[in-house]
Amino acid sequence: MNIWLVMLLGGLITFGIRFSLIYLFGRFEIPQTIRRALHYVPPAVLSAIIFPELFLPTGTLDLSLENTRLLAD
Amino acid sequence: MSERFKTFLAGIRAEIPLLIGVFPFGMIYGALALNAGLSTSAAQMMSSIVFAGSAQFITAQLVHEATPGFVIVLTIAVVNLRHMLYSASLAPYLAGLPTRWKVLLSYLLTDEAYAPTILHYEKEGSTPDAHWFLFGAGFSLWFTWQISTALGIFLGTAIPESWSLDFALPLTFIAMVVPVLKNQPAIAAALSAGVVALVAYPLPYKLGLILAALVGIAVGTLLEGRKSSKGIL
């Protein structure tokens, strides 16, 4: 497959993912549990991004003082 | 100065610490993409067509390994699946906007645009001009990503491999997680997601991140449900 076609399809799918629920919202009834669950997206996603960056800078768990990232926190 | 322009500028201001972290990433992407065998124009255009950092790094790597195109497209889809959570999370706030705004803001919806925006919405609520905040954050990130990609392509191999400027980004995200830890379920959601993210880190395609986020969301939701059924809240 041509690289331009790969990028175009990859870009369209990425856009589709980002647009999906913004587009669908309001077009059907959203259960109470899901509404409640949405409140926990920020703490869950943000710490899922942070923890590996902080504790696994080299891809392995590093809790020693050599890990300057822990000291900076 | 109009209210919407002020909100737009506030979005840019909130994005600045993230931009500082993102800039070296964009440069490294540009240099790596050329190195992986992409043409200058393909390397640059990927930053606007796909506009997703991790997916672009992985794509460059897969192109280098001569991976079949449909595998690359599928990989991009899986790596970017986490954006569906952002789409769900912001959807209630963007519900009243015209479709053209939803399209534009969806295109700009990255990790780095989502984080300050959801904080803004949770603090200020859904004001009529609030989407200009997301536009400011998203557009300044987009602009920075294009420029840094171009600079990386231009400088190419002149960028030292040992660059470790990625530190600014986690620090900024840490500053952002603190305000969302408002109650016990939120703290439990953050801790459980963090622990799962560590354990599931070896999973490919950022699946560890998605799994961790889902576990954290489930823990927070269950705890809140239990508390309210007991009448504590």
- The answer to whether the CB atoms of B173 and A49 lie below 8 A apart is yes
Residue labelled with tokens 């990609």: B149
**Nearest CB to A18; choose among B109, B192, B216:** B109
Give the pLDDT of residue B165. 47
Q: At B134, give phi and psi (nearest 5°).
A: -60, -40
Compute the count of residue pairs across chains A and B with CB atoms less than 8 Å apart: 223
pLDDT band at B232 (very low <50, low <70, confident <90, very high): very low
pLDDT, tens digit, 9 for 90 and up, residues B47-100: 999 999 888 988 988 898 888 898 899 889 988 988 999 999 999 999 999 999
CB contacts of A6 in chain B (<8 Å) are 59, 63, 69, 72-73
Average pLDDT over every residue of B184-192: 96
Average pLDDT over every residue of B155-172: 64
Mean pLDDT score of chain B, rounded to an integer?
A: 89
CA distance B43 to B56: 9
Residue labelled with tokens 């926190």: A73
Which of A5, A14, A35 to mutate against chain B (most B CBs within 10 Å)?
Answer: A14
B197's tokens: 């993210």
Rounded to a whole number of angstroms, the distance between the first and last alpha carbons of chain B is: 42
CA distance B46 to A7: 6
pLDDT, tens digit, 9 for 90 and up, residues A4-51: 999 999 999 999 999 999 999 888 887 888 888 988 999 998 899 889
Q: What is the pTM of this model?
A: 0.83
Write b or e for each residue in B39-51: b if 16 or more Cβ atoms lie within 10 A of its Cβ, otherwise e.
Answer: eeebbbbbbebbb
**Nearest CB to B49; choose among A11, A46, A69:** A11
Residue labelled with tokens 């993210």: B197
Give the pLDDT of residue B162. 57
Quote ipTM for the complex: 0.86
pLDDT band at B153 (very low <50, low <70, confident <90, very high): very high
Sign of the CA dihedral with A7 first, then A8, A14, and A17 last? negative
Average pLDDT over every residue of B7-22: 94
| Minimal CA separation from B157 to chain A, in Å | 22
| Minimal CA separation from A64 to chain B, in Å | 16
Lowest-confidence segment of A32-46, B25-39, B171-185, B189-203 by average pLDDT: B171-185
Taking a contact as any Cβ pair under 8 Å apart, which residues of chain A between 5 and 64 contact chain B? Answer: 5-11, 13-15, 17-26, 33, 35-56, 59, 61
Give the pLDDT of residue B226. 81
CA distance A19 to B91: 9
* 3-class secondary-structure state, position B218: helix
In Å, how far are B86, B104, B105, B109, B228 from B100, measured between CA atoms?
18, 6, 9, 14, 39
pLDDT, tens digit, 9 for 90 and up, residues A42-70: 999 889 988 988 888 665 555 555 565 55
pLDDT, tens digit, 9 for 90 and up, residues B136-145: 999 999 999 9
CB contacts of B95 in chain A (<8 Å) are 25-26
pLDDT at residue B222 is higher than 50: yes
- The answer to whether the CB atoms of A22 and B105 lie below 8 A apart is yes
CB contacts of B222 in chain A (<8 Å) are none
Sign of the CA dihedral with B168 first, then B171, B176, and B179 last? negative
Rank B72-81, B116-125, B149-158 by mean pLDDT and report only the highest.
Answer: B116-125
A22's tokens: 């913004």
